[in-house]
Amino acid sequence: MTVFLTIVIIALFGITLWQMSKILKLSQLKNADDSQVANDKDNNMHGKLMLGFVIFIYLLTIYCFVQYRSFFLPESASEHGVDYDLLMFISMVLIMFVQIITQGLLHYFAYKYRGKKENKALFFADNDKLEFIWTIIPVIVLAGLIIYGLFTWTDIMNIDEEEGDPLIVELYAYQFDWRARYSGEDNVLGKANVRFIEGINTLGIDASDNYGKDDKVTNELHLPVNRKVIFKMRSQDVLHSAYMPFFRAQMNVVPGMITEFSYTPTKTTEEMRNSEFMVEKVATINKIRREKSKKLVAAGDEALETYEFDYYLLCNKICGASHYNMQMKIVVESEEDYQEWLKTQQTFGEQLSAQASN
């Protein structure tokens, strides 16, 4: 149906244009001016349309900001994310301010100075003062932004394993899934290389390295709230990118090297689910899903599951055919819940001996 409608719309649109061009041609026969150079009538009309166009841009902007306000991510669930959000807010305000002024001027001038036969343009080729002003203003504003941005950047990227008691977790990517490896009691990850991959040792952990014996490989990422976590990232095959939008965190995962990112989660999954923003958002999504389900059921398919919010990690670097569905669930919970969950996971050593006894 949609295809049909789309084709009809395109066809109608084509016919409209065809008819318009015919009308235009007919009207031109009477009009002596067929030079195809804009005359005063054209200037008048398109000058006014330019004014209309800037109003369109303003309305589109307002529409998007109002209609799509639920698209902005909720308050950051990580410590550094608060600074990130502030910097983003400042930059947004700034660019929207410049956008509104410059688009306004550009289109208003196009309207105001639309050509007329009797008008004379002003020969105005240079003005050092003006140019100096609009060079120096961006210099100052951008310098401010750069300095602010760089301080935040250094804070985020300065990963110090000695400071505090960070949790060390490996994120392991392959086509098309993620694994997490917890460093165990010793908080040190065992050595690993793809050359050790064999059987159940899917992450290539070096069995001869004692640090690796207590490592735990999981397919969910659980994090204790308010404890700094340092991710060491490894890829088995191609480039991937570990993107955790709710934590304002992203780092590429590169085969042949270990990349790092670190943050402190500050909101548990539970807290995020119960936040005003998320309750509303999930309600909207479930409404959409219920409507879709109706259609699906009518067509004899299964209904969609009701959605419940969970943090997720997704792949954000093109990595192959199933790139679009390479995700891992993230659970942020209290220290106790985290420890409890961790206990239920087998260590690498246990896995090896279980296999040997089989």
Partner 1 sequence: MSAIAHADDHAHDDHGHHHKETFITKYIFSQDHKMISKQYLITGLIMGIIGIAMSLLFRMQLAWPDHKFTIYEIFLGKFGTDGVMDPSIYLALVTIHGTIMVFFVLTAGLSGTFSNLLIPLQIGARDMASGFLNMISYWLFFISSVIMVLSLFAEAGPASAGWTIYPPLSALPQAIGGSGMGMTLWLVSMAIFIASSLLGSLNYVVTVINLRTKGMSMTRMPLTIWAFFVTAIIGIVSFPVLLSAALLLIMDRSFGTSFYLSDIYIQGEVLHNQGGSPVLFEHLFWFLGHPEVYIVLLPALGITSEIIATNARKPIFGYRAMVASILAIAFLSTIVWGHHMFISGMNPFLGSVFTFTTLLIAIPSAVKAFNYITTLWKGNLQLNPAMLFSIGLVSTFITGGLTGIILGDSTLDINVHDTYFVVAHFHLVMGISALYGLFAGVYHWFPKMFGKMMNKNLGYVHFWVTAIGAYGVFFPMHFIGMVGLPRRYYTNSAFPYFDDLSDTNVLITVFALITAAAQLVFLYNFIVSMFYGKKAVQNPWKSNTLEWTTPVEHIHGNWPGAIPHVYRWPYDYSKTKENGEYVIEGQDFVSQITPLQEGEEELHH
- Considering only residues 79 to 138 of the shown chain, the ones binding partner 1 according to CB under 8 A are 83-84, 87-88, 91-92, 94-95, 98-99, 102-103, 105-107, 109-110, 113-116, 119-127, 130-131, 134-135, 138
Interface residue with partner 1 among 191, 273, 289, 329 (CB under 8 A) is 289
Residue tagged 């279980």 (tokens):
354
Instruction: For 18-48, give one letter per residue: b (16+ CB within 10 A) or e.
Output: eeeeeeeeeeeeeeeeeeeeeeeeebeebbe
CA angle (68, 55, 8) in 5-degree steps: 70
Instruction: For 68-89, give one letter per residue: b (16+ CB within 10 A) or e.
Output: eeeeeebebbbbbbebbbebee
Question: Of residues 128-187, which lie at the interface with partner 1 (CB under 8 A)?
Answer: 130-131, 134-135, 138-139, 142, 145-146, 149-150, 152-154, 156-158, 174-175
* Residue 261 token pair: 């990112």
Question: What ranges make up the beta strands (E) of 240-336?
Answer: 240-244, 249-253, 259-263, 311-315, 327-333
Q: What is the Cα–Cα distance from 253 to 173, expressed in whole angstroms?
A: 7
State the nearest-atom distance from the C-beta of 355 to partner 1, in Å.
18
Q: Is 309 in the site for partner 1 (CB under 8 A)?
A: yes
The total number of residues written for the chain in this structure: 358
Question: Of residues 314-333, which lie at the interface with partner 1 (CB under 8 A)?
Answer: 314-325, 327
Question: Of residues 330-349, which lie at the interface with partner 1 (CB under 8 A)?
Answer: none
Residue tagged 């965190």 (tokens):
249
Question: Residue 155 or 185: which CB sits closer to partner 1?
Answer: 155
Q: What is the Cα–Cα distance from 93 to 332, expressed in whole angstroms?
A: 32
Interface residue with partner 1 among 13, 208, 279, 303 (CB under 8 A) is 13
Q: State residue 222 phi and psi, 5-degree precision.
A: -105, 135
Report which of 203, 278, 264, 200 is spatially closest to residue 233, judged by C-alpha positions: 203
Question: Residue 319 or 352: which CB sits closer to partner 1?
Answer: 319
Question: Residue 149 or 342: which CB sits closer to partner 1?
Answer: 149
Question: Of residues 44-63, which lie at the interface with partner 1 (CB under 8 A)?
Answer: 46-47, 49-50, 53, 56-57, 60-61
Is the Cβ–Cβ distance between 244 and 81 less than 8 Å? Answer: no
Could you count the other beta carbons within 10 Å of the beta carbon of residue 291? Answer: 11
State the nearest-atom distance from the C-beta of 264 to partner 1, in Å.
15
SS3 304: coil
Question: Of residues 263-282, which lie at the interface with partner 1 (CB under 8 A)?
Answer: 281
Report which of 173, 216, 166 is spatially closest to residue 327, judged by C-alpha positions: 173
Interface residue with partner 1 among 19, 21, 210, 274 (CB under 8 A) is 21
Question: Residue 97 or 350: which CB sits closer to partner 1?
Answer: 97
Question: Residue 288 or 353: which CB sits closer to partner 1?
Answer: 288
* Residue 313 token pair: 């990690």
Number of residues that bind partner 1 (CB under 8 A): 128
Q: Is 200 in the site for partner 1 (CB under 8 A)?
A: no
Interhelix angle for 79-112 vs 40-67, to 10°? 160
Per-residue binding letters, 211-230, with partner 1 (x by CB under 8 A): --------------------
Interface residue with partner 1 among 177, 226, 255, 270 (CB under 8 A) is 255
State the nearest-atom distance from the C-beta of 219 to partner 1, in Å.
16
Q: Is 354 in the site for partner 1 (CB under 8 A)?
A: no
Interface residue with partner 1 among 312, 331, 341, 345 (CB under 8 A) is 312
